[in-house]
Amino acid sequence: MAELRYGPNGESLIPGTPAYEKGSKVKPVFPTVTNTGTSTSGYPSFTSNVPGIQLPGLPPARYASPDEAKDWFKYLPTKNKALYNDFIADLARKGIAKKYAQLVWNDAVGWTQSLGSTSGNPFEYLNVMDPSMYKGEGDSGPKYGTQAVKDTRITQYSGSSAAQQINDEMERRLGRRASQAEVDAYTKALNIASKKEPSTYQGTTTTAAPKGKNTMGSTTSTGTQSTGFDPTMFARNFAMSQPDYAESFAANTFLGLVEKLLKDPNAIGQVVQA
């Protein structure tokens, strides 16, 4: 039986062929390299042409794996808030939204480990990156400057608050509380009137880039606020429009005159003039 011979890639060769005659009697063994650069075959290990990943807080001789580096940034806000805020501020200056922070960092880690990379510091990726890669739909970069602002709001009155208003006014003007039908009618009319006089804020808002302690930038608003609809006069007019208001008004006026005479009988001339 012919002996086994092997080709340069470890393949078995067929006896009688030219390749067999030139083949090796010893099967080649190729090294297996782990992510730590340690050979498991007994042959000398080799290291890829990439630098180790450097992270703040690691000893000088300690490098992080790609997965370790990505997790390090994921939990950075809970361990070093200041450093995290600095990174977010750098992104903001490039017009990149905070929501892309982890994606940018993951790419930065990948950049350090790409063949030919000369830096193991992921933070340096921000100096060479293309910011447009991290702008989705609606992301158009930092919006710094001044813009006009108008905020219009309409007060919607609930049944209970409207009932309180009209009951107070009815007791004051008519000496009685409003019926449920009157409360319902008042509430409906009140909200219709409120829509016609909304509260309005009109002014400008100025947004500035991150600076100093304002790591996320700053916003200043200046403008004028209108008061909008006031239900006080509306409730009074509603109460005075009720059919029994005239009778109540006359009765109250007469009682007022009588009370005045009782206090000062000589005021009869004033009563007659009234």
In this prediction, residue 251 carries a pLDDT of 52
Listed as own residue / partner, the contacts of 265-274 with beta carbons closer than 8 Å and 24 or more positions apart are: none
Helix, strand or coil, per DSSP, at residue 185:
helix
Model pTM?
A: 0.40
**Which pair of tokens denotes residue 237?**
């007019």
Structure tokens at 36: 């730590």
pLDDT tens figures, 94-136 = 999 999 999 999 999 999 999 888 888 999 999 999 998 887 6
Q: How far apart are CA 87 and CA 98, in angstroms?
A: 10
Q: What is the 3-state secondary structure (H, E, C) of 78-110?
A: HHCHHHHHHHHHHHHHCCCCHHHHHHHHHHHHH
Angle between helices 101-112 and 66-74 (to 10 degrees): 160
Show the tokens assigned to 172: 């004051």
Q: Is 142 helix (H, G, I), strand (E, B) or coil?
A: coil
Structure confidence at residue 101 (pLDDT): 94
Half-sphere exposure of 167 (CA within 13 A, CB side): 12
pLDDT of residue 115: 85
Residue 260 has a pLDDT of: 55
- Regions of the chain where pLDDT drops below 70: 1-2, 6, 9-10, 27-49, 60, 136-143, 246, 248-274
Classified as helix, coil or strand, 217 is: coil
pLDDT at 159: 92
